[in-house]
Every structure is written in structure tokens, then in C-alpha cells.
Amino acid sequence: MSGITEVDLGDGRHLTINISHEGIVMDVYNYIDGWEDSPDMGLEGTVGMMFDEWADWIVVDDIAILDGVTTGQLRAELGVSA
């Protein structure tokens, strides 16, 4: 499982989603004049997590919502970092 998908956000920015065997990385690019010479010129930000981190995030947030406690409280109790 791997691949890169690019989404045109319609405001001059593009979101690339890279799924690998380790996790998901998303980059936001603002394609300014001359970006063709160096794609990193327009890089505005990156976020990514490994699949086990995504799973922890999903489970912790779902439990917090169901139990009516804050996510921070639950993370502290379970020893899971943000």
C-alpha cells in the first residue's frame, strides 16, 4: 500500500497525501511563480503520523467523546502522548 494523491484546494494551494507502509504524510504547497524549478519552494507545512499513532488518536478521541471527559484527561490516564 503506497501512493501519492494531490488535491487542488482551489485557492492556489495543493494538498499532497502520501500513504506508505508506515503511515500518512500530508504536505500543503502554495505554487508561487517559479515553483516548477523547485517544488519545495512552495511548501507551507507538513503533518504526518505513523499508523499506530493514528489508531491511538482515533481510539482515545472516540473514548473521550463517549465518556464525556476531555481528551487531555484521557491521554494522561492512558499515558498516550498527543
Q: 10 Å Cβ neighbour count for 14?
A: 19
In this predicted structure, what is the pLDDT of residue 44?
Answer: 87
In this predicted structure, what is the pLDDT of residue 17?
Answer: 92
In this predicted structure, what is the pLDDT of residue 43?
Answer: 83
In this predicted structure, what is the pLDDT of residue 18?
Answer: 93
The dihedral built from the CA positions of residue 15, 23, 79 and 77, taken in this order, carries a sign that is positive
From the first residue on, what is the mean pLDDT of each consecutive set of 10 residues in the chain (82 residues)? Answer: 82 88 90 60 85 80 57 64 62
Phi and psi at 11, nearest 5°, equal -125, 25
What is the domain extent for residue 27?
Answer: 3-78
